[in-house]
Amino acid sequence: MSEPLPCDAVVLELWKGPVVDANMDERQSFFDDAAATWDELPERGLWRERLGKLVARFEVRKGDAILDVGTGTGILLPLLGKAIGPEGSLVAMDFSYKMLAAAASRGFDRQPVFFNAGVAAIPFKRGSFDKVTCFSAFPHFPDKVKALAEMVRVLKEGGGLFIAHLHSIEEINQLHHAVGGPVMADRLPDRETMERLMKDAGLTKIEIENEPGRFLASGRRH
């Protein structure tokens, strides 16, 4: 049985779309098992200032409708909620129910809406969001072409997609290899491949930054 969420949180249990990888269930179990202690990892406490600077690059405006894909324990949600203000709307989505439960336990001035769903079948209409954010999650999507297509689909015309890490491509790939298990082969594509994937998904004005301690790929739906 799924653990209860705070009464003011809204979680819709949705099928995560087609299984595209035999390791998907193992990967989901990995994150479910890690959820309770995820934010206790030492590096999480060092991220606060860096996250604020990162979110400032997302070009969020007051009143924006934002979808945070692969929200995990919701580390970005307070920052995004503050940026959009009371007139905006914030939806958090993850395929791990226990990660969502941890996210919902955070304090919010206005509770986001939580969706238990996977990126292979995002449960929203085309053109629903001004921004789609994806922090520290993209390597874990087995079908990256489908993931990008879905994230772009739910963007409004001119809306922005922001895929980010507080590690470089090289750092995140080495980290996942060291962790092993279901995430051992979860890799962030190289810069050239990432740019091609984003262009093929229908994004323009693509910018990719890759340096020690930061990765940010952004683009606009044309």
Residue 4 domain-assigned (yes or no):
no
Residue 68 domain-assigned (yes or no):
yes
Answer left, alpha or beta for residue 205, where phi above 0 means left and psi between -120 and 50 means alpha: left
pTM assigned to the model: 0.86
Residue 124 domain-assigned (yes or no):
yes
Residue 128 domain-assigned (yes or no):
yes
140-148 average pLDDT score:
95
Query: At 35, which CATH number?
Result: 3.40.50.150
pLDDT tens column, 198-216: 999 999 999 999 999 999 9
107-112 long-range CB contacts below 8 Å, 24 or more apart? 107/78, 108/77, 108/78, 108/81, 109/81, 110/81, 110/86, 111/6, 111/8, 111/9, 111/10, 112/68, 112/74, 112/77, 112/81
The pLDDT confidence band at residue 23, using thresholds 50, 70 and 90, is low
Between 17 and 47, residue with greater pLDDT: 47
15-35 average pLDDT score:
58
Q: Is the pLDDT of residue 112 over 70?
A: yes
Do residues 148 and 201 touch, judged by C-beta distance below 8 A? Answer: yes
Residue 5 domain-assigned (yes or no):
no
Q: pLDDT averaged over the chain?
A: 84
Print the domain residue range for 78: 10-221
Q: Is the pLDDT of residue 113 over 60?
A: yes
Between 204 and 108, residue with greater pLDDT: 204
Residue 86 domain-assigned (yes or no):
yes
pLDDT at position 26 is 77
2-16, 128-142, 192-206: which has the minimum mean pLDDT?
2-16
pLDDT at position 33 is 66
Q: List the Cα angle 161/165/171 in 5-degree steps.
A: 140
Residue 184 domain-assigned (yes or no):
yes
Q: Is the pLDDT of residue 147 over 90?
A: yes
Residue 3 domain-assigned (yes or no):
no
Q: How many structural domains compose the chain?
A: 1
pLDDT at position 4 is 37
